[in-house]
Amino acid sequence: MADADLGEGRRRALPEWVPALARILGTVAVTMLGLMLITFFIGRVVPVDPVILVIGDRAPKSVYDRTFIELGLDKPIWQQFLIYLGQVFQGDLGDSFLTKRPIISDIARVFPATLELATVGILIGTLFGVPLGVFAAVRQGKLADQVVRVVGLIGYSAPIFWLGLLGLLLFYARLHWIGGPGRVDISFEYSFTNRTGLMLLDTAMQGEWAAFRNVVGHIALPGALLGYLSMAYISRMSRSFMLNELGQEYITTARVKGVPERRIIWVHALRNAAVPLVTVIALSYAGLLEGAVLTETVFSWPGLGQYLTNSLQKADMNAVLGCTLVIGTIYIGLNLLSDLLYTLLDPRVRRRT
Amino acid sequence: MHYSRNLLAATAMALSLFASPQVQAETPADTLVMAWNIDDIISLDPAEIFEFSAAEIAGNSYERLVTYSNDDVSNVYGGAAESWTVSDDGLTLTFKMKEGKTFASGNPMTAEDAVYSLVRAIKLDKSPAFILGQFGLTPDNVEEKIKLIDPMTFSMTMDKAYAPSFVLYCLTATVSSVVDSKLVKEHEVDGDWGYDWLKTNYAGSGPFVIREWRPSEAVILERNDNWTGGDTPAMSRVIYRHIAESAAQRLALEAGDVDVARNLTPEELEALKSNPDIKLQQGAKGAIWYLGMNQKNEYLSRPQVREAMKYLVDYHTIADTIMKGKVTVHQNFLPEGFLGAIPDEPYSFDPAKAKELLAEAGLPDGFSVTMDVRSSGDTPAIAEAIQANMAQAGVNIELIPGDGGQVLTKYRGRAHDIYIGQWGPDYQDPNTNADTFAANDDNSDDAAAKPLAWRNAWQDEGMTKITRDAVLEGDAAVRAKMYEDLQREWVKTSPFVVMFQQIEVQALRKNVEGLQIGPSFDTNFFYTVTKD
């Protein structure tokens, strides 16, 4: 059948992508192993007795001893690590020490909340950050540049929980423009079914527009805050990348040739500045996906950041390791993605590989 | 030029999208919404529940064998059980179940369910199992000790003739909740007594049914129409919303998105007093605040130093100005509301008196020690105030902050100098606190039981004996007297400075009536709540 053709095609393609893939997989494996190793040992070194956190302070000795063995703490630490690794290879992140629920299902529950919030944040951050950065670069040294700088600095240095609480006080408690803590009002909680865990998507797909509006009202402030935070960073970086490009000779050439200024900025310069900018945006996104602990706490957002912090405080090592793996995967995945985008944006990279 | 105008337009558009005004929120008329930090829930199985919020949820959704009146704790009466008799030798209690009770599932409740529930709790042997285990019940013998007599009667045989008051108070604990044995058995896997299933599900007969628990998000309860214990609750749904940040709880309460806020700080409560839509209500809880002084420390082990420290806490100032009414001064190990509790207040802030005592102990210039402090909640504020108080007599305290697990691990390892913390009773009988504060059978480093007295390396054989004798005293009045005398002696010599009793303060919307605050979290009831 077509097998023969395929096989031939694959053989021809082999030298092209196999080493590249092997290199990527190798990097992923080493990074993950290192991550797990460090997290695991830090978790075991902290002076906290995980058994007490599981059974509470009052349990009698028999319960303590049994739990100690159930958690595998009687084995040497390297053996505990190997057992854990074995589980992970079978796709099992283990059960929470505390709730005995599978970590996988816990993460599947909390991650969509963070994903939704981070995506809204990065969209706002990019849509506003890039144009602001370009604008500041074009008007370098002028008043507009200074204004953008100050706006960025405030976003960069104001504590987010303070901004969050202040925002809640103003827009929620005083003006009633937006929803309060949580992802949706209780009155809408049962008006749609949870399919993706992304409430904006779920409500929109099911045509529950009243619920959709409510969800928008809830995500607006935390999303805008995270957006502001990443906008501050992205606009600073866009500005400096743009300044770098605008000083290049090809820009001068273009100007001499009479290319309209708008085209020079938005097409010629920005296209080149976009290459490093993609990495900046990808890493900002990864940072947001890690779960913004403070934002999630202030807004009672049941996401990854809150889950990770709670697990850390309760020394629930399996949960912490599971989250670490997820976050590591996100970073590596987004890094790979930005590498891929490089090749799309920069023909030279494409030709070289 | 163009960019700026375009940018402005885009910004304005985006802002108007986000700022779509929402109607002022109000919770539905038949729904009670409470904001509470419910991160402590790890299980909804009554055989495992030992946490404040889960205990409150179980108290409203399961029925216990025995219960007590919130107005008068000494009034103990039947919950799921109708009546009981004690055998002549005092070893066997026979319970008769109430007729006509039905679980939410529709299954009738019989003595079989009660036997199953108690046996199950002992066999599972989770944290609260020891409350029942105290009567000589072990996983190996429980099936012989707890026996079905007829469909509505069962008996429980103990290893000693314990005071009936002691046994009955223990049977008011969450762990004695009656579960629907037929339903739970359907979910048994490999002889696990349905544990995996009941952790996140419900098999009870109380006024409300646990519909859903979404960790760190919400617990949703719905009215149980099969419940017969009282008038039909006005609320058809009760929702706990997890809001960790107290300031956000306050905002949600003021905006009307929640009806009750449960974790407000003293400052926030103070500020709410001026809001006409909000009211406060309070009730004394069993938790007490105390300092534990490790007797392995060369200074703290001197009797005069122990006494001096009791004069070095400015009790009333801390209660009134720092805690603003979230605690009340209480100086002994049995909190108000317990059998044998005494309101005596033998100590007041008196640095001069403390200095005299320190001089007697050979420390006229004071000394230096450390204090381990949880860096969350109200503990740091109280610890700092005590640090300042004690400095007035030359006692220099270095505060060592840590998270809960860290501080507790150190405390249980007897590696602290002074520990500051809260202790909540495990069940409503005085033995729970006497057993931990006054008794210590074995002070060696590898002792099997590690009560608070052990953690502070303190042992008093006389008081240990009184504690052991008190649980066998059949006459409740004599028993109460024993605890009173024990406490009067204990407060003088023990290495504990008991300072306050916790007051639970709830902030409610004006229209919420009938929310009950009991002496324990499992007696906070909302089946009587109405809203208008």
- Please list every residue in chain B whose beta carbon sits closer than 8 Å to the beta carbon of residue A101: 200
* A70 shares its domain with A204: no
CATH class given for the domain over B1-61+206-277+510-532? alpha beta
State the ipTM, two decimals. 0.75
CB interface of A with B, residues 18-77, below 8 Å: 46-50, 52-53, 55-63, 66
- Please list every residue in chain B whose beta carbon sits closer than 8 Å to the beta carbon of residue A47: 406, 409-410
**Does A38 reside within a domain?**
no
| Residue B448: count of CB within 10 angstroms of its CB | 11
CATH number at residue A120: 1.10.3720.10
Cα torsion B281, B286, B288, B294 to 10°: value is -160
- Does the distance separating the beta carbons of A177 and B28 come in below 8 Å? no
User: Residue A77 has what pLDDT?
Assistant: 84
* A75 shares its domain with A222: no
**Does A98 reside within a domain?**
no
**Does A13 reside within a domain?**
no
**Does A3 reside within a domain?**
no
Quote the CA–CA distance of B490 and B188 in Å, as a whole number.
48
Quote the CA–CA distance of B345 and B315 in Å, as a whole number.
10
- Please list every residue in chain B whose beta carbon sits closer than 8 Å to the beta carbon of residue A142: none
| Superfamily of chain region B63-181 | Dipeptide-binding Protein; Domain 1 (3.90.76.10)
- Does the distance separating the beta carbons of B196 and A262 come in below 8 Å? no
The beta-carbon neighbor of B251 closest among A49, A58, A180 is A180
User: Residue A349 has what pLDDT?
Assistant: 65
Quote the CA–CA distance of B373 and A310 in Å, as a whole number.
19
User: Residue A3 has what pLDDT?
Assistant: 45
Quote the CA–CA distance of A297 and A117 in Å, as a whole number.
13
**Does A336 reside within a domain?**
yes
Integer distance in angstroms from the first to the last C-alpha of chain A? 32
The angle, 0 to 180 degrees and rounded to 10, between the axes of the packed helices B476-493 and B303-310 is: 100
- Evaluate whether A197 touches A184 at the Cβ level (below 8 Å): no
CB interface of A with B, residues 139-198, below 8 Å: 144, 165, 168-169, 171-173, 175-182, 185-187
- Does the distance separating the beta carbons of B133 and A60 come in below 8 Å? yes
- Evaluate whether B249 touches B241 at the Cβ level (below 8 Å): no
**Does A28 reside within a domain?**
no
* A234 shares its domain with A185: yes
Tens digit of each residue's pLDDT (9 = 90 or more) over A285-299: 998 988 778 888 889
Q: Which domain holds residue A81?
A: 49-88
* A226 shares its domain with A181: yes
State whether the Cα torsion B174-B521-B215-B210 is positive or negative.
positive
Domain B285-504 in CATH 2.60.40.420? The answer is no
The label of the residue with tokens 């919030």 reads A117
Among A10-19, A119-128, A202-211, B449-458, the least confident range: A10-19
Indicate which of A103, A300, A311 best probes the interface with B, i.e. most B CBs within 10 Å of its own CB. Answer: A300
Tally of domains in chain A: 2
Residue A265: pLDDT band (50, 70, 90) is: confident
- Evaluate whether B245 touches B228 at the Cβ level (below 8 Å): no
pTM of the model: 0.83
Tens digit of each residue's pLDDT (9 = 90 or more) over B351-373: 999 999 999 999 999 999 999 99
**pLDDT at position B3 over 90:** no
**Does A278 reside within a domain?**
yes
**Does A59 reside within a domain?**
yes
Domain boundaries, chain B: 1-61+206-277+510-532, 63-181, 285-504
- Please list every residue in chain A whose beta carbon sits closer than 8 Å to the beta carbon of residue B18: 177-178, 216, 220-221, 224
The label of the residue with tokens 């204990």 reads B490
Structure tokens at A159: 């504590």
User: Residue A350 has what pLDDT?
Assistant: 60
State whether the Cα torsion A328-A332-A337-A342 is positive or negative.
positive
Give me the DSSP letters along A16-53.
Answer: HHHHHHHHHHHHHHHHHHHHHHHHHHHHHHSS--HHHH
- Please list every residue in chain B whose beta carbon sits closer than 8 Å to the beta carbon of residue A55: 126-127
Q: Give phi and psi for B325, each to the nearest 5.
A: 90, 5
- Please list every residue in chain B whose beta carbon sits closer than 8 Å to the beta carbon of residue A64: none
- Higher confidence at residue A340 or residue B137? B137
- Does the distance separating the beta carbons of A99 and B199 come in below 8 Å? yes
Residue among B34, B513, B27, B476 at smallest CA distance from B281: B513
C-alpha angle B456/B462/B464, rounded to 5°? 55
